[in-house]
């Protein structure tokens, strides 16, 4: 399985990469240029900025062209944009790891520490996505973001 992780210029992307090791072929992406020293021995793809009006469609095209099956967006603007177009990606068999749009506001937070929880499915507990949990408590879930 090919997996795309965004925000490759941040430590959060590498933290998630470590968490997903062995899950498939990992590809890092960002809308900013990265020095070659950061991407040595890694696959890197440049993506459009999330504030682009066609961000979701350009990312979908990229995923289809590259055979990417799972997307882990890590910038808040990417998460918001892809949450709104998650169904479109689902129709093409590409799983975007974000909760559906109406549920986003309840998961924003400021913490940068905690255990990573990857939820594969939507349920009454939380939508699919990548979350931070504090000390194993599921009471205070927040979406993992790089910003």
What is the domain partition of the chain in residue ranges?
2-143
Question: What mean pLDDT is reported for the chain?
Answer: 89
Q: How confident is the model at residue 7 (pLDDT cuts 50, 70, 90)?
A: very high
- 35-94 pLDDT, tens digit per residue, is 666 556 568 888 999 999 999 999 999 999 999 999 999 999 999 999 999 999 999 999
What local confidence, expressed as pLDDT, does residue 127 receive? 85
Asked if residues 39 and 111 have their Cβ atoms less than 8 Å apart, the reply is: no
Q: Is the pTM of this model over 0.95?
A: no
More confident residue, 87 or 125: 87
Asked if residues 64 and 57 have their Cβ atoms less than 8 Å apart, the reply is: no
Please state which of the four CATH numbers 3.40.50.20, 3.20.20.10, 3.90.1640.30, 2.60.40.10 is assigned to the domain occupying 2-143: 3.40.50.20
What local confidence, expressed as pLDDT, does residue 124 receive? 74
């Amino acid at each position: 399985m090919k997996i795309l992780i965004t925000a490759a210029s941040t430590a959060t992307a590498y933290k998630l990469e470590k968490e997903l090791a062995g899950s498939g072929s990992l590809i890092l992406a960002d809308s900013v240029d990265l020095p070659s020293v950061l991407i040595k021995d890694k696959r890197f793809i440049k993506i459009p900025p999330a504030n682009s009006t066609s961000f979701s469609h350009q990312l979908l095209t990229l995923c289809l062209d590259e055979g990417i099956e799972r997307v882990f967006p890590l910038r808040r603007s990417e998460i918001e944009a892809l949450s709104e177009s998650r169904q479109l990606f689902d129709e093409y068999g590409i799983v975007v790891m974000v909760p559906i749009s109406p549920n986003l506001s309840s998961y924003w937070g400021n913490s940068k520490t905690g255990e990573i929880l990857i939820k594969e499915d939507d349920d009454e507990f939380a939508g699919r996505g990548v979350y931070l949990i504090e000390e194993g408590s599921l009471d205070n879930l927040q979406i993992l973001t790089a910003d």
